[in-house]
Amino acid sequence: MTEIEMLSKDIFNNFKPYFQDTCSLGLALFVCFAVYYYKKYENAFYIKIASVVCIFYSIFDLYSGATIDFWIHHIAQFVLCAIAAIWHTKANDVMQYIYYCLLVEVSSIFFSFRSLFRTYLKQNSDSNTTSVKIIKQAQPINELLFFTTFMYTRIYLFNKNVVFNPEFYSKVYATFDFYMTGKMITACTAVLSIINLYWSKFLIKRFITKACGRDITEYKPDPKDPFLMEIEAAKAKLLK
C-alpha cells in the first residue's frame, strides 16, 4: 500500500464515524419533525416518509457495521417500517401507535450528539482548544438529556402505549389480518422493548455511578472493619 493510499484510508476512517452519526442525527431530527407535525395537524404525510427513510437508514447502518444488539434493533425496526410503507393505507388505522414507536427517536438526537462528542474528543485528546472546552462542558448536559428522553420515550411511553396496551394488539390483529403480519408486528415491538430495557440497564448503572461518584454495584469492603480484620487474622493463623 502506497503512502497516498494509507493517507486516504486514514482520512476515511476518521471521517466515517462523523458521517454515520451525522446521518443518524439528521434522521432523528426529521422523524421528530414528522411526529410533531402529525400531533399538531393530525396529518401523517411526513410520518410515512419517515418510515421509508428509516428503512434505508437501517440498511445503511447495518452495512456500515453494528454490534449484535444494534442488528437486532435495526432488523425489528426495518420490518415495522417496511410493513407501514407497503401497506400505508392500513397503517393509517394504527397511526396513533406508530406515533409512539417513532417518538423514541427524540432520544436518538442526544445519542447522536453523544457519539459525535466522544469521537471528536477522542481524536483531539491532546488538544485544549475552545471547541474542546465547549464540548466538555456540553457533555454532562447532553448525557442528562439523553438519559431522560431515553427513559421517558423508550421505556415509559413506548411500553405504556404500545407493548402493554391491549388495544394495540386488538387493533393490529384486526387491521393486519394477513400473511401473519399482525404477529410480526407484535413480535418486533416486543423485541424493541426488550432491547430498550437491555440498554436502559447500562444507562441506569452509569447514571447512578455518576450521581454517587462510584460504582455502587461493586463490593468494596472497608479494610479496617473489625469483623473483616478478625477473619484476616484467622486466615493468617491457618496459613502458618
> How confident is the model at residue 216, as a pLDDT?
58
pLDDT of residue 25: 93
| Residues above pLDDT 90, as percent of the chain | 59
Between CA 40 and CA 44, with CA 42 as vertex, the angle to 5 degrees is 115
Mean pLDDT, residues 189-205: 94
Contact of 35 with 19, CB cutoff 8 Å = no
12 pLDDT higher than 60 = no
For residues 218-222, give the mean pLDDT.
60
Domain parsing of the chain, residue ranges: 3-239
Mean pLDDT of the 31-39 span: 96
**Quick check: 143 and 113 in contact, CB under 8 A?**
no
Top pLDDT among 73 and 220 is at 73
Dig out the grid coordinates for 235 from the structure. Answer: 486466615
Q: How confident is the model at residue 18 (pLDDT cuts 50, 70, 90)?
A: confident
* Residue indicated by cell numbers 455518576: 210
149 close to 159: Cβ distance less than 8 angstroms: no
pLDDT at site 230: 65
Closest CA to 151 of 184, 188, 199: 199
